[in-house]
């Protein structure tokens, strides 16, 4: 794939994978992106997962057309991107590996201290000249590993953005970018919003015409849309008005409560309602929508003097991903000693700027009083 007169895409599509990073369902597979700049000097930017090394090396050789790469730039050491470094160096032993001090520390952890003979250790803001093209390295620690850096080619106005602006899904599948990029961001990068904000500020000084991520499609149109979403996501702002309802239920009474709430929200013309049964639905999608909308309802039974396990898992994920700047509402159920609301509040205690704006307590089954409370809650949610 030709991205510029001198830049080629040499990534691969993975339709063998079922869970990315061992936990995220990827029904449309994954793309592992890699690029090569063919100038006076040749630079390869990142490799691919080791299961696709042969396919990747063949693509690279085709683009090289008999030439030899001078540099391998390693922007991110996660194995889905660095998994073919060792095999690359077997084929091109004289190539220089470019990275920062943390890159080489982690590389040695994976491959051993003698894995790289030729290395160029770069510092933040340094530039590597290839001819017409020059790569300026911008460090992006904790987006989302400590060694991450991105590379900017001023000649082509191209930002090679590492895992930034990535998404789930292989490139030979047509699907909405926003949805799978959002799920990818909050699941994988979302904890490190402050680091993303720092990178966005650095990137704002660059004249960017194309973004080349390590996952997902190359972005060259309507860049303000993608950058705007990243700014919203990384600042932990709500993307849009709406209510995300996440629940667990044992015998159906809590489910009955949230279904009533959804019905009442509809009557009040709530702009958007997302409903998740945490025992059955994709928890990563629930996490995505909890961050997407400005209000969150958590509904759960009490269980072992705490909260039902799937809800405990989900609330823990919220806290671990720096959930903040939201209004939270709780529906708890307990036959003799309701503890769900207290447990949820305690689990979210360290999250910033959360407003707990109401709790409905059910004792086993819904009463007329509960129904009235849920109707009132719906009106409050739609204000």
Q: Is residue 353 part of a domain?
A: yes
Condensed to tens digits (0 to 9), the pLDDT of residues 90-142 reads: 999 999 999 999 999 999 999 998 889 899 999 999 999 999 999 999 999 99
* β pairing state of 30-32 and 326-333: unpaired
DSSP string computed for 113-128: TTS-SSEEE--TT-EE
Entry field: residues in the chain: 383
Query: Do 186 and 263 fall within a single domain?
Result: no
Reported confidence tier of residue 337, pLDDT bands at 50, 70, 90 = very high
Condensed to tens digits (0 to 9), the pLDDT of residues 162-208 reads: 999 999 999 999 999 999 999 999 999 999 999 999 999 999 999 99
Query: What are phi and psi for residue 70, nearest 5 degrees?
Result: -90, -35
Query: Do 11 and 68 fall within a single domain?
Result: yes
Query: Do 31 and 167 fall within a single domain?
Result: yes
Reported confidence tier of residue 4, pLDDT bands at 50, 70, 90 = confident
Chosen domain end from 197, 217, 234 = 234
Q: Radius of gyration of the chain from Cα atoms?
A: 24
Query: Do 230 and 265 fall within a single domain?
Result: no
- Domain span at 292: 240-381
Query: Do 201 and 286 fall within a single domain?
Result: no
Chosen domain end from 174, 207, 234 = 234
CB 338 within 8 A of CB 361: yes
Chosen domain end from 234, 250, 275 = 234
pLDDT over 80 at 1, yes or no: no
Query: Do 254 and 364 fall within a single domain?
Result: yes
Query: Do 78 and 149 fall within a single domain?
Result: yes
Q: Is residue 307 part of a domain?
A: yes
What total of structural domains would you count in the chain? 2
Average pLDDT along the chain:
96
CATH number, domain containing residue 121: 3.60.15.10
Reported confidence tier of residue 295, pLDDT bands at 50, 70, 90 = very high
CB 297 within 8 A of CB 246: yes
* β pairing state of 71-73 and 96-99: parallel
């Amino acid at each position: 794939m030709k991205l510029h007169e001198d830049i080629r895409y040499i990534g691969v599509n993975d339709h063998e994978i079922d869970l990315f990073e061992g936990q995220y369902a990827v029904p449309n597979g994954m793309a592992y992106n890699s690029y090569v700049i063919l100038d006076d000097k040749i630079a390869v930017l990142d490799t691919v997962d080791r299961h696709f090394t042969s396919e990747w090396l063949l693509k690279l050789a085709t683009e090289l057309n008999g030439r030899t790469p001078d540099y391998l730039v390693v922007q991110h050491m996660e194995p889905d991107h660095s998994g073919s470094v060792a095999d690359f160096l077997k084929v091109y032993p004289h190539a220089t590996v470019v990275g920062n001090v943390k890159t080489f520390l982690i590389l040695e952890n994976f491959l051993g201290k003698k894995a790289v003979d030729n290395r160029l250790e770069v510092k933040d803001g340094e530039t590597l000249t290839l001819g017409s093209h020059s790569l300026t390295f911008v460090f992006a620690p904790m987006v989302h590993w400590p060694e991450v850096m991105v590379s900017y080619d001023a000649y082509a106005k191209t930002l090679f953005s590492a895992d930034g602006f990535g998404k789930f899904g292989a490139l030979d599948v047509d699907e909405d970018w926003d949805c799978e990029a959002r799920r990818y961001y909050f699941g994988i990068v979302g904890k490190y919003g402050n680091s993303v904000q720092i990178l966005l500020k650095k990137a704002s000084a660059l004249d960017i015409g194309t973004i080349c991520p390590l996952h997902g499609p190359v972005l060259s149109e309507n860049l303000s849309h993608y950058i705007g979403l990243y700014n919203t996501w990384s600042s932990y702002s709500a993307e849009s008005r709406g209510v995300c309802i996440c629940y667990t239920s044992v015998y159906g009474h809590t489910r009955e409560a949230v279904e009533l709430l959804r019905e009442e929200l509809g009557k009040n013309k709530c702009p958007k309602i997302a409903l998740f049964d945490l025992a059955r639905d994709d928890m990563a999608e629930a996490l995505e929508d909890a961050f997407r909308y400005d209000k969150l309802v958590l509904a759960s039974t009490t269980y072992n003097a705490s909260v039902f396990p799937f809800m405990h898992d989900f609330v823990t994920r919220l806290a671990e991903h720096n959930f903040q700047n939201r209004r939270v509402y709780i529906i708890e159920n307990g036959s003799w000693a309701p503890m769900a609301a207290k447990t949820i509040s305690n689990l979210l205690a360290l999250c910033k700027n959360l407003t707990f704006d109401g709790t409905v307590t059910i004792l086993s089954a819904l009463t007329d009083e509960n129904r009235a409370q849920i109707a009132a809650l719906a009106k409050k949610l739609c204000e």
